[in-house]
Amino acid sequence: MRCCNLRWGFVEDPRDREVASLVCRRWHRVDALSRKHVTLPFCYAVSPKRLLARFPRPEWLAVKGKPRAAMKGDYYRYLAEFSTGTEKKAASDQSLMAYQHAMVVASSELSPAHQIRLGLALNLSVFFYEIMNSHERSLIFNALFLPFY
């Protein structure tokens, strides 16, 4: 709203002020709605440190369908990247379970070319390659899950 208030000095005509007021109200509403609802594309663009700061307890990412299950798998994958020892093992197991759940949901509800399903396949392949150090499994998974590409 501050950006709209800073522009009032440049608007002299009353009709222009009405239009500017309407634009500012709509911008404020869109801004307020975007702060309440976090969508998946925004979560994928967030660094792991910010994700950990926003969701300090992984249980808060309840698995309620494809986006949240994929996000939970990504969250635990990020934890596994930064952890060592038993923490890494636990995080990688949780990540694998979340990814498997997301794959089941995505396979049954989404088309093979859906962007969430393709992103999930890519993230699971990265999980196998980097976290599990299973290069062959990553390649086999890609061949099975993405037969058209």
Mean pLDDT by 10 residues, the chain (149 residues): 45 57 56 47 52 60 54 83 87 87 80 80 84 76 59
Residues 71, 58 within the same domain: yes
Residues 22, 49 within the same domain: no
Residues 27, 48 within the same domain: no
For the whole prediction, is pTM greater than 0.85? Answer: no
Quote the domain boundaries for residue 12. 2-36
pLDDT at position 57 is 60
pLDDT at position 74 is 83
Grouping H, G, I as helix, E, B as strand and the rest as coil, residue 37 is coil
Residues 89, 56 within the same domain: yes
Ordered DSSP codes for 97-142 = HHHHHHHHHHHHHS-TT-HHHHHHHHHHHHIIIIIS--HHHHHHHH
CB count within 10 Å of CB 67 equals 18
Residues 48, 31 within the same domain: no
Residues 55, 31 within the same domain: no
